[in-house]
A and B are shown apart, each in its own frame.
Chain A
Amino acid sequence: MRPLNVLSAVAGCALALALAPKSLHAQAPEGHGIAGFWSMAPGPMPPRREPTPVEAELIASFPEGAVLLADAGAIEFPPGEYGGLDVHASLRDAAKSYDPENQTDAFLTCRPPGLIYSMQGPFPIEIFEGRDLIVIKLEYFDLVRVIFMNETEHPDDWPLSQTGHSFGRWEGDTLVVDTAKLMPGTLFNNGVDYTENVRLRERFRLADPNTLVVTQEFEDPGSFTGTAARIMSFRRGDDHVYPYDCDPTYGIAIESRQGRE
């Protein structure tokens, strides 16, 4: 039951942070300005539009040859589209038998699609900044991330989970987060998954006090060659992330639709 214990600890930690904002500020009186509620900015993201100066600077920091994926935000790739990423042929072939109806199966409908895909989806996040921890609550499927600011490596015995193990550091005004120990999750929600060996590197930088730019870079030799990247902009809002509390009977309602062949 160790994974459950860890998840419980993570959830408890997030709850404690959420309920004690004063002590948070006491721990980090300066902060870096990223705490708060953030919604995905509407409209397309690069490369579907020209990047802003801050976005361009972050894109320039991607490793040479990185593939900037054009599915950040509300955009979704259809089956068979991988955004120019060199996905292994065996996985492309396997994806041909992927049945998207499984997404509404009552057993699986509340299973999160994986952290990497979830972070770029059009749902809000809420960030709590402490001294040793930064906690990110995703409204999507109630995911809670803990980023250890006082660690520099991933423990070998850390269990695989939806949110993995993350450590971070500030490089000037940019929060750089490295994540591993992720359970396999979907790359594009169309039948190809990354493996448990995927490594995710993210950068969080304020373009202005109300605009947060986030990038993803991830590598997974088990599912594709090279580096994949995304860039997203969030807008600050006066709100909070609320419980998602997924209802699995949603799948039954969709599956029982009339006129289905």
Chain B
Amino acid sequence: MSEAPLVSIKNLHANASDTPILQGIDLELRAGEVHAIMGPNGSGKSTLSNVLVGKPGYEVTQGEIRFRGEDLSEMDPEIRARAGVFLAFQYPVEIPGVANNYFLRTAVNAVREHRGEEELDAIDFLTLLKEKMKLVEMPEDMMSRAINEGFSGGEKKRNEILQMLLLEPSFCILDETDSGLDIDALRIVANGVNQMRSSDRAMLVITHYQRLLDYIVPDHVHVLSGGRIVKSGDKSLALELEEKGYGWIEGIEEEGAAS
């Protein structure tokens, strides 16, 4: 099986606000796979997710990111989103004055238009919305409220997953989606994510803790440290990391540097 990878990251170097953070990342995700990236604070996890979606202020200085064979780094964020790249934000922004349902419909129709599908009218959209909301156990009144305004931490994360369910991206990046979640919210969010697992979709789950990976079981686990992937393995690597702590990784790095 030598199918081309859905996402191919080669020798990626990137700056955040002119500071070099990523120091040469190589990573391939095939359709159907779930990869987890773990690493200590400051290892470059969030920079990687921001670079992948093209956030202003993050700059690729070397290497490339290919999505379905196309170079992502020159595409505007909205073009990446329509092409099927999605980031569930670590800190979802509150936008007073923009109703959630209006925003979601605008986003869904922007993506549908790109795919050559017909726009959804208000009624069809509402049907779709209600169906997806059930999956993340969101009460209906949250839809007429402004985007994330007054939402709890868990509600914001569920709203992110709802957006993912509606937009049906083929490359999903989850940036520390488990941070600030209690065990019930974690279960709901993971359940939403697992609904999205499919053979034509790849996922990159970025997390500091192993806990999330009990719910979203990855095919591959990578350890990020100092802006590079220093170790890769299967799901047992996450457990090993949990047991030994990130200090273990620093040991590996030093070994690597010495050899």
* Chains A and B form a bound pair: no
Taking Cβ atoms with an 8 Å cutoff, the residues of B that contact A are none
Taking Cβ atoms with an 8 Å cutoff, the residues of A that contact B are none
